[in-house]
Amino acid sequence: MQGKRVLIGISGGIAAYKVCEVISTLAKQGVETRAILTNSAQAFITPLTIATLCRHAAYTDESFWQTTHDRPLHIELGEWADLFVLAPLTANTLAKLVYGMADNLLTNTVLASTCPVLLAPAMNTDMWEQPPVQRNWQSAQAEPRMHTLAPGSGILACDRVGSGRMAEPTAILSHVESLLYTKGQRDLVGKHVLISAGGTREFLDPVRFIGNPSTGKMGIALAQAALHRGATVKLVHGALESALDAQIATLPEIQAFSVTSADAMQQALLHCFPEADWTIMAAAVADVRPASYSQEKLPKRSLPSALPLETVPDIVAALAALKQPHQKLIGFAAQSGDIVTPALEKLQRKKLDAIAANPIDQPNSGFGSDSNQAVLIDHRGRQHIVEPCSKLHMAHQLLDFMQTLT
Protein backbone atom coordinates (compact mmCIF):
# COMPACT_ATOMS: atom_id res chain seq x y z
CA MET A 1 0.00 0.00 0.00
CA GLN A 2 3.10 2.19 -0.20
CA GLY A 3 2.24 5.63 -1.55
CA LYS A 4 -1.54 5.20 -1.47
CA ARG A 5 -3.54 8.14 -0.10
CA VAL A 6 -6.22 7.71 2.54
CA LEU A 7 -8.36 10.50 3.94
CA ILE A 8 -9.89 9.87 7.37
CA GLY A 9 -13.07 11.70 8.41
CA ILE A 10 -13.65 11.71 12.18
CA SER A 11 -17.04 12.59 13.62
CA GLY A 12 -17.92 13.16 17.28
CA GLY A 13 -18.01 9.93 19.27
CA ILE A 14 -16.01 8.13 21.92
CA ALA A 15 -14.97 5.57 19.28
CA ALA A 16 -12.71 8.27 17.83
CA TYR A 17 -9.90 6.88 19.98
CA LYS A 18 -9.95 3.66 17.91
CA VAL A 19 -9.12 5.63 14.78
CA CYS A 20 -5.70 6.39 16.23
CA GLU A 21 -4.66 2.77 15.71
CA VAL A 22 -5.96 2.83 12.13
CA ILE A 23 -4.02 6.00 11.28
CA SER A 24 -0.86 4.83 13.02
CA THR A 25 -0.87 1.47 11.23
CA LEU A 26 -1.47 3.03 7.82
CA ALA A 27 1.36 5.49 8.33
CA LYS A 28 3.73 2.68 9.30
CA GLN A 29 2.76 0.86 6.09
CA GLY A 30 3.77 3.85 3.99
CA VAL A 31 0.25 5.08 3.30
CA GLU A 32 -0.09 8.86 3.03
CA THR A 33 -2.78 9.75 5.55
CA ARG A 34 -4.71 12.97 6.08
CA ALA A 35 -7.57 13.57 8.52
CA ILE A 36 -10.55 15.88 8.93
CA LEU A 37 -12.13 16.37 12.36
CA THR A 38 -15.60 17.81 12.83
CA ASN A 39 -16.12 20.30 15.64
CA SER A 40 -17.75 17.63 17.78
CA ALA A 41 -14.90 15.18 17.12
CA GLN A 42 -12.52 17.62 18.79
CA ALA A 43 -14.40 17.14 22.05
CA PHE A 44 -13.15 13.53 22.07
CA ILE A 45 -9.73 13.72 20.44
CA THR A 46 -7.41 16.60 19.63
CA PRO A 47 -6.18 17.68 16.21
CA LEU A 48 -2.64 17.54 17.64
CA THR A 49 -2.98 13.82 18.37
CA ILE A 50 -4.26 13.09 14.89
CA ALA A 51 -1.67 15.33 13.23
CA THR A 52 1.13 13.56 15.09
CA LEU A 53 -0.07 10.15 13.91
CA CYS A 54 -0.68 11.34 10.34
CA ARG A 55 2.70 13.09 10.17
CA HIS A 56 0.66 15.96 8.70
CA ALA A 57 -1.51 18.77 10.02
CA ALA A 58 -5.08 17.74 10.78
CA TYR A 59 -7.91 19.66 9.14
CA THR A 60 -10.86 21.24 10.95
CA ASP A 61 -13.63 23.64 10.04
CA GLU A 62 -11.26 26.44 10.99
CA SER A 63 -8.98 25.25 8.18
CA PHE A 64 -11.96 25.25 5.81
CA TRP A 65 -12.47 28.99 6.03
CA GLN A 66 -8.82 29.99 5.81
CA THR A 67 -7.67 31.60 2.56
CA THR A 68 -4.10 30.25 2.65
CA HIS A 69 -4.86 27.51 0.10
CA ASP A 70 -4.39 28.00 -3.64
CA ARG A 71 -7.65 26.16 -4.28
CA PRO A 72 -10.66 25.42 -2.07
CA LEU A 73 -9.51 22.96 0.59
CA HIS A 74 -12.43 20.54 0.18
CA ILE A 75 -11.72 20.32 -3.56
CA GLU A 76 -8.02 19.67 -3.03
CA LEU A 77 -8.66 16.97 -0.42
CA GLY A 78 -11.44 15.32 -2.44
CA GLU A 79 -9.20 15.05 -5.49
CA TRP A 80 -6.18 13.95 -3.42
CA ALA A 81 -7.74 10.89 -1.78
CA ASP A 82 -7.63 7.35 -3.17
CA LEU A 83 -10.00 6.33 -0.37
CA PHE A 84 -12.15 8.21 2.14
CA VAL A 85 -12.79 6.51 5.51
CA LEU A 86 -15.47 7.93 7.81
CA ALA A 87 -14.91 6.53 11.29
CA PRO A 88 -16.61 6.94 13.62
CA LEU A 89 -19.66 7.85 11.57
CA THR A 90 -22.37 9.44 13.71
CA ALA A 91 -26.10 9.41 13.05
CA ASN A 92 -25.85 13.12 12.27
CA THR A 93 -23.13 12.76 9.64
CA LEU A 94 -24.84 9.69 8.15
CA ALA A 95 -28.03 11.71 7.62
CA LYS A 96 -26.05 14.51 5.97
CA LEU A 97 -24.41 12.04 3.56
CA VAL A 98 -27.72 10.51 2.55
CA TYR A 99 -29.36 13.87 1.85
CA GLY A 100 -26.33 15.48 0.22
CA MET A 101 -25.92 18.13 2.90
CA ALA A 102 -22.63 19.99 3.15
CA ASP A 103 -22.36 22.30 6.14
CA ASN A 104 -18.78 21.58 7.26
CA LEU A 105 -15.41 20.61 5.81
CA LEU A 106 -16.04 16.89 6.17
CA THR A 107 -19.34 16.75 4.31
CA ASN A 108 -18.19 19.22 1.66
CA THR A 109 -15.15 17.03 0.99
CA VAL A 110 -17.32 13.93 0.62
CA LEU A 111 -19.32 15.69 -2.09
CA ALA A 112 -16.15 16.96 -3.77
CA SER A 113 -14.59 13.48 -3.95
CA THR A 114 -15.13 10.61 -6.37
CA CYS A 115 -13.10 7.89 -4.62
CA PRO A 116 -14.62 4.96 -2.69
CA VAL A 117 -15.95 5.84 0.76
CA LEU A 118 -15.82 3.42 3.69
CA LEU A 119 -18.39 4.02 6.44
CA ALA A 120 -17.90 2.72 10.00
CA PRO A 121 -20.76 3.90 12.23
CA ALA A 122 -20.68 4.08 16.01
CA MET A 123 -23.48 5.09 18.36
CA ASN A 124 -25.70 4.05 21.25
CA THR A 125 -27.85 0.97 20.59
CA ASP A 126 -31.16 2.86 20.80
CA MET A 127 -29.84 5.48 18.41
CA TRP A 128 -28.58 2.87 15.96
CA GLU A 129 -31.87 0.97 15.97
CA GLN A 130 -34.08 4.01 15.35
CA PRO A 131 -36.04 3.53 12.08
CA PRO A 132 -34.80 6.81 10.52
CA VAL A 133 -31.18 5.84 11.17
CA GLN A 134 -31.72 2.38 9.70
CA ARG A 135 -33.38 3.90 6.63
CA ASN A 136 -30.41 6.20 6.17
CA TRP A 137 -28.03 3.26 6.61
CA GLN A 138 -29.87 1.29 3.92
CA SER A 139 -29.77 4.32 1.61
CA ALA A 140 -26.03 4.72 2.14
CA GLN A 141 -25.44 1.04 1.36
CA ALA A 142 -27.30 1.47 -1.94
CA GLU A 143 -24.86 4.13 -3.13
CA PRO A 144 -22.31 2.51 -5.50
CA ARG A 145 -19.23 4.19 -4.04
CA MET A 146 -20.24 3.69 -0.41
CA HIS A 147 -18.76 0.63 1.31
CA THR A 148 -19.93 -0.23 4.78
CA LEU A 149 -18.76 -1.86 7.98
CA ALA A 150 -21.78 -2.44 10.19
CA PRO A 151 -21.26 -1.86 13.91
CA GLY A 152 -20.76 -4.83 16.18
CA SER A 153 -22.34 -5.72 19.50
CA GLY A 154 -20.95 -5.54 23.02
CA ILE A 155 -20.73 -3.22 25.98
CA LEU A 156 -20.79 0.42 24.91
CA ALA A 157 -19.27 3.48 26.55
CA CYS A 158 -22.74 4.33 27.91
CA ASP A 159 -22.74 0.91 29.66
CA ARG A 160 -25.48 -0.33 27.35
CA VAL A 161 -24.95 -3.84 25.97
CA GLY A 162 -26.05 -4.12 22.35
CA SER A 163 -25.25 -3.14 18.79
CA GLY A 164 -23.52 0.11 17.95
CA ARG A 165 -19.81 -0.59 18.59
CA MET A 166 -17.65 0.71 15.78
CA ALA A 167 -15.84 -2.00 13.83
CA GLU A 168 -12.46 -2.86 15.30
CA PRO A 169 -9.33 -1.32 13.76
CA THR A 170 -8.25 -4.67 12.29
CA ALA A 171 -11.52 -4.96 10.35
CA ILE A 172 -11.25 -1.36 9.13
CA LEU A 173 -7.65 -1.88 8.05
CA SER A 174 -8.52 -5.06 6.12
CA HIS A 175 -11.31 -3.28 4.29
CA VAL A 176 -9.01 -0.34 3.55
CA GLU A 177 -6.42 -2.68 2.02
CA SER A 178 -9.08 -4.34 -0.14
CA LEU A 179 -10.53 -1.05 -1.35
CA LEU A 180 -7.10 0.32 -2.23
CA TYR A 181 -6.50 -2.83 -4.27
CA THR A 182 -9.90 -2.99 -6.02
CA LYS A 183 -10.51 0.79 -6.19
CA GLY A 184 -13.99 0.02 -4.92
CA GLN A 185 -15.01 -2.42 -7.66
CA ARG A 186 -17.56 -5.05 -6.65
CA ASP A 187 -16.66 -7.41 -9.47
CA LEU A 188 -17.80 -10.59 -7.69
CA VAL A 189 -21.41 -9.58 -7.11
CA GLY A 190 -23.56 -12.63 -7.88
CA LYS A 191 -20.73 -15.11 -7.26
CA HIS A 192 -21.08 -17.75 -4.56
CA VAL A 193 -17.63 -18.48 -3.13
CA LEU A 194 -16.95 -21.42 -0.83
CA ILE A 195 -13.69 -21.42 1.13
CA SER A 196 -12.07 -23.88 3.50
CA ALA A 197 -9.61 -22.64 6.12
CA GLY A 198 -7.60 -23.67 9.14
CA GLY A 199 -6.30 -27.05 10.19
CA THR A 200 -8.16 -30.26 10.98
CA ARG A 201 -7.50 -32.34 14.07
CA GLU A 202 -7.69 -36.13 14.22
CA PHE A 203 -8.01 -37.27 17.83
CA LEU A 204 -6.49 -40.34 19.46
CA ASP A 205 -8.33 -39.67 22.72
CA PRO A 206 -10.09 -36.60 24.19
CA VAL A 207 -6.81 -34.68 24.64
CA ARG A 208 -4.36 -35.95 22.00
CA PHE A 209 -4.61 -35.40 18.28
CA ILE A 210 -2.71 -35.34 14.99
CA GLY A 211 -2.74 -31.80 13.65
CA ASN A 212 -0.71 -29.14 11.88
CA PRO A 213 0.33 -25.51 12.51
CA SER A 214 -2.25 -23.91 10.21
CA THR A 215 -3.79 -20.78 11.75
CA GLY A 216 -6.42 -20.16 9.06
CA LYS A 217 -5.05 -16.72 8.15
CA MET A 218 -4.92 -17.43 4.40
CA GLY A 219 -8.45 -18.79 4.29
CA ILE A 220 -9.83 -15.88 6.30
CA ALA A 221 -8.04 -13.45 3.98
CA LEU A 222 -9.66 -15.14 1.00
CA ALA A 223 -13.09 -14.89 2.63
CA GLN A 224 -12.58 -11.20 3.40
CA ALA A 225 -11.32 -10.41 -0.10
CA ALA A 226 -14.27 -12.16 -1.75
CA LEU A 227 -16.73 -10.45 0.60
CA HIS A 228 -15.20 -7.02 -0.02
CA ARG A 229 -15.63 -7.59 -3.75
CA GLY A 230 -19.32 -8.37 -3.40
CA ALA A 231 -19.41 -12.18 -3.38
CA THR A 232 -21.69 -14.32 -1.25
CA VAL A 233 -19.25 -16.20 0.96
CA LYS A 234 -19.44 -19.45 2.89
CA LEU A 235 -16.52 -20.49 5.05
CA VAL A 236 -15.86 -23.98 6.41
CA HIS A 237 -13.06 -23.78 8.92
CA GLY A 238 -11.16 -26.05 11.23
CA ALA A 239 -8.96 -24.88 14.08
CA LEU A 240 -8.18 -21.17 13.86
CA GLU A 241 -5.97 -18.74 15.71
CA SER A 242 -8.12 -17.36 18.55
CA ALA A 243 -8.05 -13.80 17.20
CA LEU A 244 -9.45 -15.05 13.89
CA ASP A 245 -12.36 -16.77 15.65
CA ALA A 246 -13.26 -13.40 17.13
CA GLN A 247 -12.80 -11.74 13.75
CA ILE A 248 -15.27 -14.09 12.05
CA ALA A 249 -17.85 -13.19 14.67
CA THR A 250 -17.67 -9.57 13.45
CA LEU A 251 -18.44 -10.60 9.85
CA PRO A 252 -22.09 -11.70 9.91
CA GLU A 253 -22.19 -11.49 6.11
CA ILE A 254 -20.00 -14.60 5.97
CA GLN A 255 -21.82 -17.85 6.71
CA ALA A 256 -19.29 -19.81 8.73
CA PHE A 257 -19.25 -23.50 9.66
CA SER A 258 -16.85 -24.61 12.39
CA VAL A 259 -15.58 -28.20 12.21
CA THR A 260 -12.84 -30.24 13.84
CA SER A 261 -12.04 -33.37 11.85
CA ALA A 262 -11.51 -34.01 8.15
CA ASP A 263 -14.72 -36.06 8.06
CA ALA A 264 -16.72 -33.15 9.48
CA MET A 265 -15.08 -30.74 7.04
CA GLN A 266 -15.94 -33.01 4.12
CA GLN A 267 -19.58 -33.24 5.18
CA ALA A 268 -19.88 -29.46 5.53
CA LEU A 269 -18.18 -28.81 2.18
CA LEU A 270 -20.31 -31.38 0.37
CA HIS A 271 -23.40 -29.69 1.82
CA CYS A 272 -22.33 -26.24 0.59
CA PHE A 273 -20.66 -27.25 -2.67
CA PRO A 274 -23.72 -27.43 -5.02
CA GLU A 275 -24.39 -23.69 -4.63
CA ALA A 276 -20.76 -22.62 -5.07
CA ASP A 277 -19.47 -21.04 -8.27
CA TRP A 278 -15.91 -21.04 -6.93
CA THR A 279 -14.50 -23.32 -4.24
CA ILE A 280 -11.08 -22.51 -2.76
CA MET A 281 -9.51 -25.23 -0.62
CA ALA A 282 -7.12 -23.31 1.62
CA ALA A 283 -7.54 -25.58 4.66
CA ALA A 284 -4.68 -27.78 5.84
CA VAL A 285 -6.48 -31.11 6.01
CA ALA A 286 -4.89 -34.07 7.77
CA ASP A 287 -3.63 -36.89 5.54
CA VAL A 288 -3.89 -39.59 8.22
CA ARG A 289 -5.66 -40.22 11.51
CA PRO A 290 -5.37 -42.73 14.36
CA ALA A 291 -6.94 -46.04 13.38
CA SER A 292 -8.88 -46.14 16.67
CA TYR A 293 -10.24 -43.60 19.15
CA SER A 294 -10.46 -43.95 22.91
CA GLN A 295 -13.45 -42.30 24.61
CA GLU A 296 -11.30 -41.80 27.72
CA LYS A 297 -7.85 -40.29 28.05
CA LEU A 298 -5.26 -43.01 27.64
CA PRO A 299 -2.76 -43.32 30.50
CA LYS A 300 0.77 -42.58 29.37
CA ARG A 301 1.75 -46.19 30.00
CA SER A 302 -1.02 -47.33 27.61
CA LEU A 303 0.10 -45.24 24.67
CA PRO A 304 1.21 -47.48 21.80
CA SER A 305 4.89 -47.39 20.86
CA ALA A 306 3.78 -47.46 17.21
CA LEU A 307 0.52 -45.66 16.42
CA PRO A 308 -1.65 -47.44 13.83
CA LEU A 309 -2.86 -44.95 11.24
CA GLU A 310 -5.39 -44.87 8.44
CA THR A 311 -5.74 -42.46 5.55
CA VAL A 312 -8.27 -39.65 5.60
CA PRO A 313 -10.75 -39.43 2.69
CA ASP A 314 -9.58 -37.03 -0.04
CA ILE A 315 -11.97 -34.07 0.20
CA VAL A 316 -10.70 -32.29 -2.91
CA ALA A 317 -11.08 -35.44 -5.02
CA ALA A 318 -14.62 -35.92 -3.73
CA LEU A 319 -15.54 -32.36 -4.72
CA ALA A 320 -13.85 -32.68 -8.11
CA ALA A 321 -15.98 -35.74 -8.86
CA LEU A 322 -19.13 -33.67 -8.28
CA LYS A 323 -18.00 -30.52 -10.05
CA GLN A 324 -20.29 -29.10 -12.72
CA PRO A 325 -19.04 -27.27 -15.85
CA HIS A 326 -19.79 -23.82 -14.43
CA GLN A 327 -17.92 -24.51 -11.17
CA LYS A 328 -14.25 -23.81 -10.49
CA LEU A 329 -12.23 -25.73 -7.91
CA ILE A 330 -8.93 -24.36 -6.65
CA GLY A 331 -6.49 -26.13 -4.37
CA PHE A 332 -3.48 -25.17 -2.28
CA ALA A 333 -0.15 -26.99 -2.13
CA ALA A 334 2.03 -26.01 0.82
CA GLN A 335 5.51 -27.27 -0.08
CA SER A 336 9.16 -27.01 0.82
CA GLY A 337 11.97 -27.03 -1.72
CA ASP A 338 10.61 -27.34 -5.26
CA ILE A 339 7.03 -26.12 -4.94
CA VAL A 340 5.98 -26.20 -8.60
CA THR A 341 6.55 -29.86 -9.57
CA PRO A 342 4.45 -31.41 -6.77
CA ALA A 343 1.79 -28.73 -7.24
CA LEU A 344 1.48 -29.58 -10.95
CA GLU A 345 1.14 -33.25 -10.08
CA LYS A 346 -1.57 -32.48 -7.53
CA LEU A 347 -3.36 -30.19 -9.98
CA GLN A 348 -3.58 -32.92 -12.60
CA ARG A 349 -4.25 -35.85 -10.26
CA LYS A 350 -7.10 -34.12 -8.48
CA LYS A 351 -8.51 -32.53 -11.64
CA LEU A 352 -8.38 -28.98 -10.29
CA ASP A 353 -8.95 -25.83 -12.30
CA ALA A 354 -6.01 -24.14 -10.60
CA ILE A 355 -3.67 -24.48 -7.67
CA ALA A 356 -1.70 -22.13 -5.44
CA ALA A 357 1.75 -23.51 -4.66
CA ASN A 358 3.17 -21.72 -1.65
CA PRO A 359 6.47 -22.32 0.17
CA ILE A 360 6.54 -23.13 3.87
CA ASP A 361 10.33 -22.93 4.18
CA GLN A 362 10.77 -19.27 3.23
CA PRO A 363 10.90 -16.34 5.69
CA ASN A 364 7.53 -14.64 6.34
CA SER A 365 5.62 -17.21 4.33
CA GLY A 366 3.34 -20.14 5.01
CA PHE A 367 1.80 -21.29 8.29
CA GLY A 368 1.14 -18.60 10.88
CA SER A 369 2.70 -15.77 8.91
CA ASP A 370 0.86 -12.54 8.09
CA SER A 371 2.42 -12.58 4.63
CA ASN A 372 2.70 -15.16 1.88
CA GLN A 373 3.98 -15.85 -1.62
CA ALA A 374 2.98 -18.36 -4.26
CA VAL A 375 3.00 -19.59 -7.80
CA LEU A 376 -0.55 -19.77 -9.19
CA ILE A 377 -0.97 -22.44 -11.87
CA ASP A 378 -4.07 -23.22 -13.92
CA HIS A 379 -5.07 -26.43 -15.69
CA ARG A 380 -3.58 -25.18 -18.97
CA GLY A 381 -0.19 -24.63 -17.37
CA ARG A 382 -0.33 -20.84 -17.14
CA GLN A 383 1.59 -19.51 -14.16
CA HIS A 384 1.41 -16.30 -12.19
CA ILE A 385 4.02 -15.51 -9.54
CA VAL A 386 2.78 -13.80 -6.38
CA GLU A 387 5.70 -11.97 -4.85
CA PRO A 388 5.88 -11.75 -1.03
CA CYS A 389 2.94 -9.67 0.19
CA SER A 390 0.20 -9.67 2.81
CA LYS A 391 -2.13 -12.65 2.73
CA LEU A 392 -5.04 -10.34 1.90
CA HIS A 393 -3.13 -8.95 -1.08
CA MET A 394 -2.35 -12.50 -2.21
CA ALA A 395 -6.02 -13.40 -1.81
CA HIS A 396 -6.99 -10.61 -4.21
CA GLN A 397 -4.39 -11.76 -6.73
CA LEU A 398 -5.79 -15.29 -6.52
CA LEU A 399 -9.33 -13.98 -7.12
CA ASP A 400 -8.04 -12.02 -10.12
CA PHE A 401 -6.39 -15.19 -11.44
CA MET A 402 -9.61 -17.15 -11.01
CA GLN A 403 -11.47 -14.68 -13.18
CA THR A 404 -9.19 -15.61 -16.08
CA LEU A 405 -9.93 -19.34 -15.81
CA THR A 406 -11.75 -20.93 -18.73
pTM score above 0.85: yes
Q: Which domains are delineated in the chain?
A: 5-182 (3.40.50.1950), 192-402 (3.40.50.10300)
The residue from 20, 158, 272, 389 that is catalytic is: 158
The answer to whether residue 158 is catalytic is yes
Name residue 147's amino acid: H
CA–CA separation, 308 vs 292, rounded Å? 8
Q: Per residue in 138-183, pLDDT tens?
A: 999 999 999 999 998 888 888 888 888 999 999 999 999 999 999 9
pLDDT of residue 257: 95
3-state secondary structure of 241: coil
pLDDT for the residue 98: 96
Instruction: Give the model's pLDDT for residue 67.
Output: 62
Q: What is the pLDDT of residue 69?
A: 65
DSSP string, 37-91: E-TTGGGTS-HHHHHHHHTSPPB-HHHHT-S-SSS-HHHHHHHH-SEEEEEEEPH
Whether pLDDT at 46 is above 80: yes
Predicted confidence at residue 68, as pLDDT, reads: 62
Annotated binding site: 287, 297, 313-316, 332, 346, 350
Each residue's pLDDT tens digit, 332-364: 999 899 999 999 999 999 999 999 999 999 888
Average pLDDT, the chain: 94
Binding residues for CTP: 287, 297, 313-316, 332, 346, 350
Asked whether residue 383 carries a pLDDT value surpassing 90, the answer given is: yes
The answer on pLDDT for 136 being more than 90 is: yes
- The whole-angstrom separation of Cα 254 and Cα 239 is 17
Mean pLDDT of 92-97: 97
What pLDDT, on a 0 to 100 scale, did the predictor assign at position 365?
87
What average pLDDT does the segment 27-37 reach?
A: 96
Peptide bond into 88 cis (omega under 30): yes
Alpha carbons 71 and 67: distance in angstroms, whole number: 9
Q: Please write the tens of the pLDDT for every residue from 296-340.
A: 999 999 998 899 999 998 999 999 999 999 999 999 999 899 999
